Amino acid sequence: FNGGWQTSLRSPVLGDMVTLFTFCAEVEDTLKRIQGINGVIGTIVVNAEGIPIKTTLDNSTTVQYAGLLHQLTMKARSTVRDIDPQNDLTFLRIRSKKHEIMVSTDKEYLLIVIQNPAE
Amino acid sequence: MSVPHKVGSVKSKQVSSFVMQDEEEGLDTAEGEEWMQGKTLVKPPDQLDLTEAELNEEITRVLKASNPNAPQNVVRYSFKEGCYKPIVFVDQMAIHFELEGNLVHKDSDEGRRLMAKQAEVDDGGGDERPDNVSIKAGKREQKLTNQFNFNERASQTLNNAPRDISCQTEPPPRANFSATANQWEIYDFYVEELQRRVKSKEKHEGQFLNKEEDKSKKKMIQAETQNDDIYQLAKVVKIIERMVNQNIFDDVAQDFMYFEDASDEFRGEKGTLLPLWTFQYDKAKSLSVTALCWNHKYNDLFAVGLGSHEFTQQGGGMLLFYTLKNPSYPEFIFNTASGVMCLDIHEHLSYLVAVGLYDGCVAVYNLKKKTDQPIYNSRASSGKHTSAVMQVKWQKDDLDSNHNFISVSADGRVVSWTLVKHELVFTDIIKLPVIDTIPDDLKDVIPTVGTSLDFHKQKDYSFLVGTEHGKIHKGSKYYSSKFLEKYDAHFMNVTRVRWNPFHPDVFISCGWDWMVKIWDQTMKSPVFTFELKTSVTDVAWAPYSSTVFAAVTTDGKVHVFDLNINKYEALCQQKVVSKKTKLFNIEFNPVHPIIIVGDDRGHVTSLKLSPNLRKKPKEKKGQDLPKGPEVEIAKMEQLLSSLR
């Protein structure tokens, strides 16, 4: 485990605010690995308000994906928790004809990966 | 004036009845007729027609003091009893006519006042005029004005122009608020509230901290929350990585779970091995796999030790942990200063890993800690091995509940290491006996290389050590002076010796002399001997059957045997790696029907055992299949007895 901490000033794809982020090197490595896998079209990291903070796709696509998937995730989470409040949503998978969209959720962030599953 | 009444008119009419007859004819004639024709009856048109008898019928009429129209069944709601109660006494008075009068009693207040006024008016009417005023003035008590001195003046003040003053305050700041109140939001709130209360209690208890400490604590807390956030993201990213990998290796994952080779039915006894995932790491390309170990608690996690078997090619080493859920990248990576030769994961505390290195050091890693360094290292301690450590095995905690493990090394010593606080304390258990061919004066210098070590499953004081010379020594932890038993096992290096997981007397050994031998510890010669065409580097018993074992050889083949089915040859001999790759290690997964093999390229291949290799013995129909180790022991016993 590398214990190195990186501080970087990043302006997100959208919005006027400038967010200060501290990403652990480990997380960065894993993200890079995922992006490098053959078949992965793009990855987006979205914060709790639905604003994308890190992405590998272009602006308009990112905004669209982030907005729509954020709403869907909120709805899915609400459903799961209504049934049992001690439960919580961990991930969501949407398989379509062309791609598979995978959303991994957490209290603060949302990680969206669009993959072309190898058939 | 006289009020005309009928009597008078009748009288007058009687007097002048004939004269005035024309004028009052209507009235008169009616009266006259009535009066003159008293006896003729005139029937009103709606009168009942009754017969004589009915007419003569006597009908009694009773006069009562009660009012026939008064209601007899008045009920009133009683709040005391909460139900309707009939009122018995009903007012029987019927009022026919009511007129409010305006008579006032003369002795009452109002009466006296009125009489006084009346008297005034009467009196005032008869007096002279000038006196009137004075009398009036005297009588009137209200205004004390008199004609001579009285002045009435009025003045008009200046009215201020009416002004409208209004004040407008700034409206209170408004914000739109919307929220949902779901069951889970309520639950979340309660949980947070509970945590806040717990924290406030703790704060109360620890109120003796200095201000500085508080400040530092605050900073810590901030850093922690940041930590937590990022750490949570790490978890999320990990899950996504696994999902992506699952998609890529979807068919392999399906095979792993569900595929059972149907063609096994047609193959008789033989079985096959289905290759599943291959685990490799870029930075480990030049290293070869030297040790493999499955984690008992998390059955999809296994450890790979990387180093080098060659004396001349020693460099660094690595310790990697892979999980079946993520075949593309290891979960944990540790770099070691020299090649890893052996490793063992603690049975109960699966985060403790003991590693033996080529330079003679032993180290213990704690997977829960996030450092790259081992938590214990025998580098500096005095009892460290002088030569490569060939095998390490965890033991049960000792009497002081310290963890300990035992290692055997190429310097011929079997040493027990105890984890005491921050250091490793060593205890020599036994020294391997030197063979007779070495002259006496060199006996201390040239050690017997111990190559393999295994502890008995049930009697964990009893252990076996294999040596470079092909001998296997059985010893006990309680006897440190000599070994209990010696077996002449192989002509060359014994690469592996293992106790049978079920039968207490059976163990297996393999060596570079191409042989795999199965022993009964009571007998000096092996029970079974198998010759595989090349050096056998590793052998392992299957955890599900006492008669199944698998061996790997340097020609890249895996041999699987089941003694219950075939005592003379392997059920499966399959080449699993590309040519010229040697296989060095094999391990069975404790739960799933897969094996992992490590080769000299640093790759680990996982293979699934086909059903033929996993057979349980058939029972007679009607009998319940007995399960458990007893069955396995019985199986083995059966085999052995047939050969004795």
Q: Flag whether pLDDT at A13 surpasses 70.
A: no
The rounded distance, in Å, linking the Cα atoms of B460 and B453 is 12
Residues of B in contact with A31 (CB under 8 A): 237
Confidence tier at B539 by pLDDT (50, 70, 90) = very high
Option in B226, B235, B329 nearest A22 (CB): B226
pLDDT computed for residue B438 by the predictor: 65
Tokens found for residue B155 = 């003045």
Option in B243, B248, B372 nearest A39 (CB): B248
pTM as predicted:
0.65
Q: SS3 for B173?
A: coil
Residues of A in contact with B231 (CB under 8 A): 24
User: How many residue contacts between A and B have a Cβ separation below 8 Å?
Assistant: 101
Option in B183, B231, B328 nearest A85 (CB): B183
Confidence tier at B209 by pLDDT (50, 70, 90) = low
CB B309 within 8 A of CB B288: yes
CB B561 within 8 A of CB B550: yes
Q: Flag whether pLDDT at B618 surpasses 60.
A: no
Answer yes or no: is the ipTM higher than 0.85: no
**Mean pLDDT value of segment B145-171:** 83
pLDDT, one tens digit per residue, over B286-318 is 888 999 999 888 888 999 998 888 777 777 888
Pairing of strands A5-10, B288-294: unpaired
pLDDT computed for residue B24 by the predictor: 47
Comparing A43-47, B302-306, B402-406, the range with the smallest average pLDDT is: B402-406
Confidence tier at B443 by pLDDT (50, 70, 90) = low
Min Cα separation B228/chain A (Å): 10
Helix, strand, coil % in chain A, rounded to nearest 5: 30, 35, 35
Q: How far is CA B538 from the centre of its chain?
A: 44
Q: Which residues in chain A (8-47) have CB-CB distances under 8 A to chain B?
A: 22-24, 26-27, 30-31, 33-34, 37-40, 43, 45
Q: Which residues in chain A (55-94) have CB-CB distances under 8 A to chain B?
A: 78, 81-82, 85-86, 90-91, 93
> A113 and B229 in contact by Cβ < 8 A?
no
Confidence tier at B125 by pLDDT (50, 70, 90) = low
Q: Flag whether pLDDT at A60 surpasses 90.
A: yes
Cα Rg of chain A (Å, integer) = 15
pLDDT computed for residue B5 by the predictor: 47
pLDDT, one tens digit per residue, over B358-401 is 888 888 888 888 777 888 887 766 777 888 888 888 888 878 87
pLDDT, one tens digit per residue, over B128-155 is 455 545 555 555 566 666 777 777 788 8
Option in B231, B241, B372 nearest A30 (CB): B241
Option in A3, A91, A106 nearest B370 (CB): A3
pLDDT computed for residue B35 by the predictor: 57
pLDDT computed for residue B131 by the predictor: 52
CB B344 within 8 A of CB B393: yes
Tell me what percent of the residues of chain B surpass a pLDDT of 90: 6
Tokens found for residue B498 = 């293992």
* DSSP-derived secondary structure for B404-428: EEEEEETTSEEEEEEEETTEEEEEE
Residue of B nearest to A27 (CA): B234
Residues of B in contact with A34 (CB under 8 A): 237, 240-241, 244
Pairing of strands B572-575, B557-562: antiparallel
Residue in B302, B372, B312, B370 with CA at minimum distance from that of residue B337:
B372
Residues of A in contact with B180 (CB under 8 A): 78
pLDDT computed for residue B200 by the predictor: 92
Element (H, E) at B198: helix B183-205
pLDDT computed for residue B431 by the predictor: 79
Distance from first CA to last CA of chain B, Å, rounded? 165
**Mean pLDDT value of segment A26-52:** 87
Q: Is B129 left (phi over 0), alpha (psi -120 to 50) or beta?
A: alpha
Cα Rg of chain B (Å, integer) = 61
Phi, psi of B423 (to 5 degrees): -145, 170
Instruction: Tally the residues of chain B.
Output: 644
Option in A38, A78, A104 nearest B182 (CB): A78
Mutate which of B182, B183, B184 to disrupt the A interface (most A C-beta within 10 Å)? Answer: B184
CA distances in angstroms from B535 to B342, B354, B588, B635, listed in the order given: 19, 27, 20, 29
Min Cα separation B241/chain A (Å): 6
The rounded distance, in Å, linking the Cα atoms of B500 and B483 is 20
Confidence tier at B222 by pLDDT (50, 70, 90) = very low
pLDDT computed for residue B401 by the predictor: 79
pLDDT computed for residue A14 by the predictor: 38
Tokens found for residue B283 = 């930075």
Pairing of strands A100-105, A91-95: antiparallel
What totals of helices (H) and strands (E) does chain B contain, helices first? 9, 30
Min Cα separation A99/chain B (Å): 11
CA distances in angstroms from B81 to A84, B72, B470, listed in the order given: 49, 22, 107
The rounded distance, in Å, linking the Cα atoms of B510 and B497 is 7
Output b/e per residue, B602-622; b: 16+ Cβ within 10 A.
bbbbbbbbbebbbbeeeeeee
> B240 and A37 in contact by Cβ < 8 A?
no
Residue in B47, B12, B40, B42 with CA at minimum distance from that of residue B27:
B12
Phi, psi of B217 (to 5 degrees): -65, -40
pLDDT computed for residue B62 by the predictor: 83
pLDDT, one tens digit per residue, over B317-344 is 888 999 988 888 888 888 888 888 899 9
Mutate which of A46, A102, A105, A116 to disrupt the B interface (most B C-beta within 10 Å)? Answer: A102
Q: SS3 for B643?
A: helix
Mutate which of A45, A73, A81, A87 to disrupt the B interface (most B C-beta within 10 Å)? Answer: A81
Q: Flag whether pLDDT at B444 surpasses 60.
A: yes
Confidence tier at B42 by pLDDT (50, 70, 90) = confident
Residue in B550, B516, B547, B549 with CA at minimum distance from that of residue B532:
B516
Min Cα separation A60/chain B (Å): 23
Tokens found for residue A88 = 């919580």
Q: If 0-12 CB within 10 Å is exposed, 13-18 middle and 19+ buried, where does residue B190 land?
A: exposed
**Mean pLDDT value of segment B71-75:** 83
Q: Looking at the complex, does the CB of residue B179 fall below 8 Å from at least one CB of chain A?
A: no
Adjacency order of strands within the sheet including B352-357: B340-345, B352-357, B362-366, B376-377
Which has more pLDDT, B474 or B401? B474
**Interior CA angle at B598 toward B596 and B604, to 5°?**
65
Tokens found for residue B52 = 């004589």
CB B235 within 8 A of CB A32: no
Mutate which of B229, B236, B241 to disrupt the A interface (most A C-beta within 10 Å)? Answer: B236
Angle between helices A25-36 and B211-248 (to 10 degrees): 20
Output b/e per residue, B291-313; b: 16+ Cβ within 10 A.
bbbbbeeeeebbbbbbbbbeeee
Q: Flag whether pLDDT at B32 surpasses 60.
A: no
Contacts of B226 by beta carbon, 8 Å cutoff, 6+ apart: A22
Option in A34, A39, A90 nearest B241 (CB): A34
pLDDT computed for residue B619 by the predictor: 47
**Mean pLDDT value of segment B117-135:** 63
Residue of A nearest to B229 (CA): A108
pLDDT computed for residue B142 by the predictor: 64
Option in A81, A111, A117 nearest B236 (CB): A111
pLDDT computed for residue B192 by the predictor: 93
**Mean pLDDT value of segment B103-128:** 79
pLDDT, one tens digit per residue, over B236-277 is 888 888 888 888 888 888 888 888 877 777 777 788 888 888
Mean pLDDT of chain B: 79
Contacts of B370 by beta carbon, 8 Å cutoff, 6+ apart: A1, A3
Element (H, E) at B170: none
CB B182 within 8 A of CB A82: yes
Long-range Cβ pairs for the range B260-264 (8 Å, 24+): B260/B610, B260/B611, B261/B610, B261/B611, B264/B610, B264/B611, B264/B612
HSE value, Cβ hemisphere, 13 Å, CA-based, for B253: 15
| E strand segments, chain A | 5-10, 19-24, 40-46, 52-55, 91-95, 100-105, 110-115
pLDDT computed for residue B572 by the predictor: 85
pLDDT computed for residue A66 by the predictor: 93
Residue in B252, B24, B189, B81 with CA at minimum distance from that of residue B12:
B24
